[in-house]
């Protein structure tokens, strides 16, 4: 199985594999077997979070895969109640312990949680963790442009990426454009619209045209537009299928047909009000 896949260079000089495996809603056991299966299928990038309660499973899957730690790119996230300078540092240590790792490749603040107003202090802890070697790259998730500007203005340190909800029903073109001007990569969560986008006509028709599955078409759409993408599956055949997107290309008509699917429709919470 080929492990050839695009790498994206982050603003700090580190490289992230463009396609990774997401493990939200996977149990510890499912996470362990999905991560092992994914790594054996060629994936080198895994996206978890402390709130997913499967970091131990992810750690076991990494061990079982037999692939060297340095070849892998592992992300975890600081959950909302762990925000604040001291709590975030403690939460990261707990995540590392559960993952059985001495560092993660990417640490994200999971949500800005503006009502808590702790993301600046949390970011300072994330910066300190990088200086201590516990984290290679640092980023955020679910931040809007105001949150990003405040973070950069108050700390002088830019996140390497912003992991945001992004799928055919919510394409976030304005935020993606803003990321580009700031030199921040866009990472798409729920990239398949939690599976809901797969049965929609433009996707099905494009899949038939290319002899590919609907999931492969959507993942290819993300890859071709330069986003980092982390589709989730715990089913071995789908894990393999979702990685097999580097042998075909969508044309301008395909991209335009998916473009008109944008309804500005969130499947997850609104970052301005979450958590309530």
Query: Per CB under 6 A, which of residues 33..72 are in contact with ligand NAD?
Result: 47
| Touching ligand NAD, residues 179-218 (CB under 6 A) | 189-195, 198, 213, 215
β-strands 21-22, 185-189: how paired? unpaired
Of 137 and 213, which has the nearer Cβ to ligand NAD? 213
**d(C-alpha 262, C-alpha 37), whole Å:** 33
Q: For residue 183, give every residue at least 6 positions away whose Cβ sits within 8 Å of its Cβ, in sequence order, or none.
A: 11, 158
Which of 241, 244, 245, 254 contacts ligand NAD by CB under 6 A? Answer: 241
Q: How far is the CB of 198 from ligand NAD (least distance, A)?
A: 6
- Is cis: bond before 275, omega within 30 of 0? yes
Q: Give CA–CA dist 65/71, Å, rounded.
A: 12
Nearest-approach distance from CB 123 to ligand NAD, in angstroms: 16
Active site residue 52: yes
**How many residues can be counted in the chain?**
276
List residues bridging with 75 in a β-sheet: 47, 106
Find the residue with minimal CB distance to ligand NAD.
22
Q: How far is the CB of 6 from ligand NAD (least distance, A)?
A: 19
User: Where does this chain touch ligand NAD (CB under 6 A) — which range of 10-18, 119-127, 131-139, 229-237?
Assistant: 229-237
Could you report how far apart the first and last alpha carbons of the chain are, in Å? 45
Q: Residue 227 corresponds to which tokens in the numbers above?
A: 């986003």
Strands 21-22 and 104-109: unpaired
Q: From residue 104 to residue 123, what is the string marking binding to ligand NAD with x (rule CB under 6 A)? A: ------x-------------
How far apart are CB 247 and ligand NAD at their closest, in Å? 16
Alpha carbon 170 to its chain centroid, in Å, reads 16
Q: Is 232 in the site for ligand NAD (CB under 6 A)?
A: yes
Least separation in angstroms between CB 118 and ligand NAD: 17
Question: If you ran DSSP here, which 8-state letter would residue 163 be given?
Answer: E
Question: Which residues belong to the active site?
Answer: 52
Give the interface with ligand NAD as residue ranges (CB under 6 A). 22-24, 47, 110, 141-142, 163, 189-195, 198, 213, 215, 230-233, 238, 241-242, 268
């Amino acid at each position: 199985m080929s492990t050839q896949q695009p790498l994206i260079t982050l603003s700090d000089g580190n490289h992230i594999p463009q396609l990774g495996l997401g493990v939200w809603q996977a149990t510890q056991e499912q996470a362990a077997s999905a991560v092992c299966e994914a790594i054996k299928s060629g994936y080198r990038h895994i996206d978890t979070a402390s709130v997913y309660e499967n970091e131990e499973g992810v750690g076991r899957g990494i061990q079982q895969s037999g692939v060297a730690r340095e070849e892998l790119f592992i992300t975890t996230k600081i959950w909302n109640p762990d925000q604040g300078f001291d709590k975030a540092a403690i939460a990261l240590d707990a995540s590392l312990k559960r993952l059985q790792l001495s560092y993660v490749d990417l640490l994200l603040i999971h949500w800005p949680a503006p009502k808590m107003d702790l993301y600046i202090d949390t970011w300072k802890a994330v910066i300190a963790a990088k200086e201590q070697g516990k984290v290679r790259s640092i980023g955020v998730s679910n931040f809007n442009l105001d949150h990003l500007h405040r973070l950069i203005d108050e700390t002088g340190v830019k996140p390497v990426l912003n992991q945001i909800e992004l799928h055919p029903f919510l394409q976030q073109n304005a935020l993606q454009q803003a990321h580009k001007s700031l030199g921040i990569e866009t990472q798409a969560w729920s990239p398949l619209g939690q599976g809901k986008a797969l049965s929609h006509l433009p996707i099905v028709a494009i899949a038939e045209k290319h002899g590919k599955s609907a999931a492969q078409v959507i993942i290819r759409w993300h890859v071709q537009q330069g986003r980092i993408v982390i589709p989730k599956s715990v089913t071995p055949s789908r894990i393999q299928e979702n990685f097999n997107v580097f042998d075909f290309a969508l044309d301008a008509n395909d991209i335009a047909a998916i473009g008109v699917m944008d309804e500005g429709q969130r499947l997850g919470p609104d970052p301005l009000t979450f958590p309530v």
